[in-house]
Structure 1
Amino acid sequence: MRKHIVAGNWKMHKTHTETLALLDEILSKKQNSDTEIIVAPTFINLKAANDEVVGKGITVAAQNMHQAEGGAFTGEIAANMLTDINVNTVILGHSERRAYFHESDGLLANKVDTALKHNMRVIFCFGEELKDRQKNNHFNIVEYQLRDALFHLEKKDWKNIVLAYEPVWAIGTGETASPEQAQEMHKFIRSIIEKVYGSDIANDVSILYGGSVKPSNAKEIFSKPDVDGGLIGGAALHADDFLAIVNAF
């Protein structure tokens, strides 16, 4: 049975001191819950964050990683550098990586393969831009992104895949897909996975919604049957807001 997950992507925010302070506040206010809590600080704060939360019901994830095992790639981070500090979850394909760093589905397929080779769990992000939805092309875009980056995987690989649908037009804009729009897309995503991999994998994979989830709308979005949680941006930087979303199930 698939699990509920709320993951906070901290992006390029929080110094070392601020990272530990936010984690301590989250830990002090966190309630017992079946929802998995994930936080993704910046690279330089991953080890300190992991040391702070180990054994306390919070998972630390990386925001990105390189597809190569190592080499002359200045400024990049390899999978074994993450797993060596017990960071075993990575976000790949975020819309900002696609837009600002021109990451293609082919490149992301290589990154996914590398992460899985190291037995990491991947939170794979995808979603359409506003122009795609306006042209009623959003379903095709989402299907192509999944097909080109993930549909080469074997069935056994899917135990380490979490999907995060993020309509690009609803990230950092204050705009949010309606709960009905989110459910419509999540149901579609599950249906195309079923066509390729069967109903067991389609029903087991967690699909998160990542588009301006806030305490005020989380409960309604999470009530939809194919929405299994959220990939949270701005609201994840404030303990009370983040935990209100975690507790929305």
Structure 2
Amino acid sequence: MQKRGVVRAQVTVAPNHPGFRKEQPQHPLTDQGISLNELRLHEVVEKQTRTRGSMGRKPRFEPSFLDESYEQCRRLCAEYAKTFYLGTRLMTEERQKAIWAIYVWCRRTDELVDGPNAIHMSSTVLDRWEERLHDIFDGRPYDMLDAALTDTVVNFPLDIKPFQDMVEGMRMDIGKSRYENFRELFLYCYHVAGTVGVMSVPVMGIAPESRLSAQNIYSAALYLGIGNQLTNILRDVGEE
């Protein structure tokens, strides 16, 4: 069995490169786009460019329990995100597990408002889900699937804010059905999909020889998520 330990996410910038700077110009998707500045993600990027996990104290899990936790995440990803799952198979074993754990948490979050029990959705339910999120980051998982994300937080420098922002996107889903302009829609797409890009960068890593700053790479990941969500919306419009 492979020895477990802290995985270096290689989220670094090239030597002598200016790297992440708050004063760097932003590159919004359009003139109506929203920048990292406005989303208050600078601190998140700084935290997630560390080489160690976010959690100071590693929870104790039985190896067999943790293996089964990740295996359940793998099965769910393989069943519900077949193309995405195939892409994860190109990663190292530890990165695969981390991405599966993030995927499953995001799927479970989305199902709160779009799943079979969505009729019971309320702000109280989302409040409780966010409390569970804090428990995960504090090393107190509620169930086996939560345990996989708790272990991922140990191994990779994930910040809680993108996860909280996704929960906020679910609040937007139950509280608002129309968006008056593209800027409002853009913000919604960030919360429900752009956040996934921000979560994923520490796991996928940035090549040490990259000439791009961490800020630009995070922007690209964020906009990829937003672009995918806009595509999903257009597809749904076409189908309906």
Q: Same fold (TM over 0.5)?
A: no
Q: Tell me which protein shows more helix as a share of its residues.
A: 2
- Greater RCO (CA < 8 Å, at least 6 residues apart): 2
TM-score by length of 1: 0.29
TM-score by length of 2: 0.30
